[in-house]
């Protein structure tokens, strides 16, 4: 997910880790993403992915205690990169936590959230360490742009 070209636009949003702010975060990112040629379905997919990453930060990162969630979105090379960061408790074993067989249990909120991010975005990466917070990186390009490139 290295940026290979100039950044066309960028925004950063920072807010308290309250459930009330999940809708706010996904709405802001969706409006920002609409600068690219995404379909309504693709915008809906971005909203789900942002909602999942921010919800995970609130529930698992901060375990419902007050903290700060930062959402950054970058438009470059015809795609959006969304970075959701918390400074919470972190994940000891990222590979295990994000493994599809572990995360696809429908009764496990965090796992299902990662399944949605993986399905709805083109790329996803989770960086985390115990007591150092978690950062979820995800990117998506409009399918129309992907089709033109091939």
Partner 1 sequence: MKITTEQKRRALVVRIDGELDLHTSPILQERVAAAFTEYPNLRALVVVLSNVTFIDSSGLGALLACYRDLSALGKRFVLANPQAAVRRVLQMSGILNQIDVVDSEAQAVLRL
Catalytic residues: 52, 56, 109
19 touches partner 1 (CB under 8 A):
yes
Cα–Cα distance, 99 to 89 (Å, whole number): 19
Binding residues for partner 1 restricted to 58-77, rule: CB under 8 A: 58-59
**128 sits in which H/E element:** strand 123-128
Among 1, 7, 11, 23, binds partner 1 (CB under 8 A): 23
Query: Cα-atom radius of gyration of the chain, to the nearest Å?
Result: 15
Alpha helices in the chain (DSSP H): 20-33, 40-56, 94-97, 100-103, 109-120, 143-149
Binding residues for partner 1 restricted to 87-116, rule: CB under 8 A: 104, 106-107, 109, 112-113, 115-116
Report, in Å, the least distance between residue 68 CB and partner 1. Answer: 17
The pair of structure tokens assigned to 16 is: 């308290």
Q: Which residues bind partner 1 (CB under 8 A)?
A: 18-20, 22-23, 26, 41, 44, 47-48, 51-52, 55, 58-59, 104, 106-107, 109, 112-113, 115-116, 119
């Amino acid at each position: 997910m290295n940026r290979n070209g100039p950044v066309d636009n960028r925004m950063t949003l920072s807010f308290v880790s309250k459930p009330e702010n999940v809708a706010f975060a996904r709405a802001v990112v969706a409006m920002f993403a609409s600068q690219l040629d995404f379909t309504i379905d693709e915008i809906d997919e971005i909203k789900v992915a942002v909602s999942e990453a921010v919800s995970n930060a609130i529930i698992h990162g901060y375990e419902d205690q007050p903290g700060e969630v930062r959402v950054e979105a970058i438009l470059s090379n015809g795609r959006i990169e969304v970075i959701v960061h918390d400074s919470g408790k972190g994940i000891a074993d990222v590979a295990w936590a994000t493994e599809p067989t572990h995360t696809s249990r429908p009764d496990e909120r965090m796992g299902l959230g990662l399944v949605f991010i993986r399905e709805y975005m083109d790329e996803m990466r989770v960086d985390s360490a115990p007591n150092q917070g978690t950062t979820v990186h995800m990117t998506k390009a409009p399918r129309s742009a992907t089709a033109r490139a091939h």
